Structure 1
């Protein structure tokens, strides 16, 4: 009996020593215990994926997110302000760590940004700014400077005289407002230059063509066209060619592949290059710093370049 009790005591002592030596908490098994930080999730609310510029911007963000081991969730507003607000609300509900917003409408998007603010989700605007809400940083090209570049090029090509058409982007978007402002700061100083038509075509190629067709029905004495983006410029170019007009200088904005090709083969005069892939990349890099608690600049410019004949 004594031998049995002694053996039992030794067994219990061994078991106690085994339990005391383990370094894992109960229930953890072979999993890591907090050594690895959770993946950062970034929401991207983009204005449209029908425009090649924004497709490239998203691709730049996706590539940068992958390189930084971050998860990117994209919602496409399809150029509909209401749809964008709904998409942002969805990203807020999904509790993303940081929100990138490329506004369809700079004023309409404010309420959605404020929702993110209330949820303590940092907001970064991309390419287009917002008219309200708390935004920690804005990553974009200087649209106003780009408008000036386009105007200076046009004036040089037409000898500072003649009729000019301006095709505007989506009313309410910061890009349309800023590009137009820069353009007019230069053009309005010229007494021998007249802006004979100034109409929105919503950054869309088909609308750019139809708007230009309507303008040409009433006035074919056109020397140049400035479109707030390449899609409208390419649409306008098609209308001009269909009307049999020659030597009309067309300048766009964004430097999409189609526009650059049109410049190289002499159909378009020039396009202002914004480098959308770089904008997307820098937006992700800023997001990473914000999540890490690092201080970031309020405005982060991306260099412009005029691609011309």
Structure 2
């Protein structure tokens, strides 16, 4: 009997021991899973840090492009990626930009952001690359392009046109001073302005181009004033420099109470609103363009879905919000 009891006790002890061993084995996969998660997280972080985005803007030597560059640098810091940011000496240094493109692509990058000076030649230089290409500010048909990041120019100009129409009223007359005739950006802005005028019963009596030059714009505006015998209530411009030139001509001609709208929203343009030189500007979010361009490039490298058009929006700046917006612009460049 004693032997039987001892035998039963021995079997029970063995069962408890086996159960304890099984419990330890069940805990092991959980520890391994946690380690694997940590490792995967570290690997993802490392891979993000290894991403290199090449960015070539139209230039780095202007106020507008300094905002785009600030956005690029901010995205690089926030997203933890390496960015090679370059730009030619001016917006007419076509060969310099093309040479930069060749060198950058040969150097090895994971994604490429470009604001083309000459769309066709830039597309030719880029060729059939095997990395994501993102156009910023100015779109172009480029092989490998996955997205365009920039302003919806038609929509933005339409907003500026509505502001002018409300200020001047139905039955007034407007003129448009464009940038470069035949340029896609100029065409889109003209279309937006035109739509706003037509919808509000305002006649566009003249459309001329000033090559985005304030002195040329002043001459063009002077000729328009003469041709229309001063019967002009609205001047819609394709950039802030053109608006400043038009304002100079209006002042010299003694033409008052004219609603002058610019485009871009640079500090100089916003200051002109504060000073009463022009009425408003269609402010592009240049900083956001730079930031979103890098962000879109990184998403593309990671295989994430991106929109083919990332609209960075527009804000009409007038005397109501000019001072606040000017401080915002200054903050980007600190």
TM (normalized to structure 2)?
0.72
Separation in 2, partners of 1:307, 1:263: 8
Which one has the largest radius of gyration? Answer: 2
Q: Give the corresponding residue for 1:65.
A: 76
Q: How does 1:143-154 map to 2 (within 5 A)?
A: 143-154=153-164
Q: Give the corresponding residue for 2:247.
A: 237
Pair 183,64 (structure 1): closer, same or farther in 2 beyond 3 Å:
same
Deviations 1:225-279 (A, max 9, x none): 1111212112222222232321111011121112222223332211112211111
Q: Which of these residues, 172, 195, 199, is aligned with residue 185 of structure 1?
A: 195
Q: How does 1:1-309 map to 2 (within 5 A)?
A: 39-49=50-60, 51-67=62-78, 68-76=80-88, 78-80=90-92, 82-83=94-95, 84-104=97-117, 108-189=118-199, 191=201, 193-219=202-228, 220-309=230-319
Deviations 1:194-249 (A, max 9, x none): 32321222333343334323433444332111111212112222222232321111
Give ranges in structure 1 of 5+ residues lacking alignment.
Answer: 1-34
Question: 3-state DSSP class of the match of 1:272?
Answer: strand
Shift of 1:125: 0.9
Question: Mean Cα displacement is larger for which, 139-148 or 58-67?
Answer: 58-67
- Contact kept in structure 2, 1:155 and 1:161, CA below 8 Å: no
Question: 3-state DSSP class of the match of 2:317?
Answer: strand
Pair 265,39 (structure 1): closer, same or farther in 2 beyond 3 Å:
same
Separation in 1, partners of 2:90, 2:180: 12
Give ranges in structure 2 of 5+ residues lacking alignment.
Answer: 1-44, 320-334
Question: Mean Cα displacement is larger for which, 166-175 or 277-286?
Answer: 166-175
Question: 3-state DSSP class of the match of 2:56?
Answer: strand
Shift of 1:190: 5.1
Question: Mean Cα displacement is larger for which, 207-216 or 274-283?
Answer: 207-216
The CA RMSD measured in Å over matched residues stands at 2.6
Matched residues, number: 271
Separation in 2, partners of 1:44, 1:242: 43
Question: 3-state DSSP class of the match of 1:96?
Answer: coil
> Higher helix share goes to which structure?
2
- Contact kept in structure 2, 1:63 and 1:281, CA below 8 Å: yes
Shift of 1:49: 4.2
Q: Give the corresponding residue for 1:15.
A: none
Separation in 1, partners of 2:219, 2:116: 25
- Contact kept in structure 2, 1:254 and 1:273, CA below 8 Å: yes
TM (normalized to structure 1)?
0.77
